[in-house]
């Protein structure tokens, strides 16, 4: 497998942020392309239900 890390070093950084929104805000302030995901725990954090959903999808 090629080391994609060295490929990353040649690319423009584009970020997807999950969780603490201030990290995304900091990216935006610096003009870094970023998307913040409005993440919520699958099935409200109920692991069994989340696993069931995972199997279905």
Partner 1 sequence: MVKAQITPGAYYDSVSLMIISNAVKKIPGVTEALVGMGTDLNRELNRNNPNLNSPEVEKTTPNDFFVAANVNDEETWKTVLAKVEEKLNEKKEDAASNYYPASLDGALKVQPHTNIAVISVPGKGGHAYKVAQDCLKQGIHVMLFSDNVSIEEEKDLKTEAVKRGLLVMGPDCGTAIINHVPLAFANVVRPGNIGMVCASGTGTQEVSSIIDSLGGGVSQVIGTGGRDLKKDIGGIMFKHALQALIADAATKVIVLVSKPPYPPVQTEVLKMAKEGGKPTVVCFIGGNPEEPKSFGLVPAVSLEDAARKAVALSKGEEPKTFDGFDMSAAEIDSLVNEATKNLAPTQKYMRALYTGGTLCDESMKYLLPTCKRIFSNIPLQDNDKLENKDISREHTALDFGDDEFTVGRPHPMIDPSLRAERVLKEAGDKTCAVILVDCVIGYGSHEDPAADLADAIKKGKDKAKSEGRDVIVVASVCGTEGDPQGLSKTRETLKAAGAIVMPTNAQACRLVKKIIEKVA
- Sites of contact with partner 1 (CB under 8 A): 1-6, 8-9, 11-24, 26-27, 29-30, 32-42, 44-47
What DSSP character marks residue 10? T
CB of 33 to partner 1, least distance (A): 6
Residues 6+ apart with CB under 8 A from 45: none
CB of 38 to partner 1, least distance (A): 4
Q: 5 or 56: whose CB is closer to partner 1?
A: 5
For residue 57, what are its two tokens?
């999808």
Give backbone dihedrals phi and psi of 28, rounded to 5 degrees, phi first: -60, -40
């Amino acid at each position: 497998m090629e080391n994609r890390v060295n490929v990353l070093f040649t690319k423009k950084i584009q970020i997807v942020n999950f969780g603490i929104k201030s990290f995304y805000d900091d990216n935006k302030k610096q003009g870094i392309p970023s998307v913040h995901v409005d993440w919520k725990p699958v099935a409200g954090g109920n692991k069994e239900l989340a696993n069931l959903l995972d199997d279905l999808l």
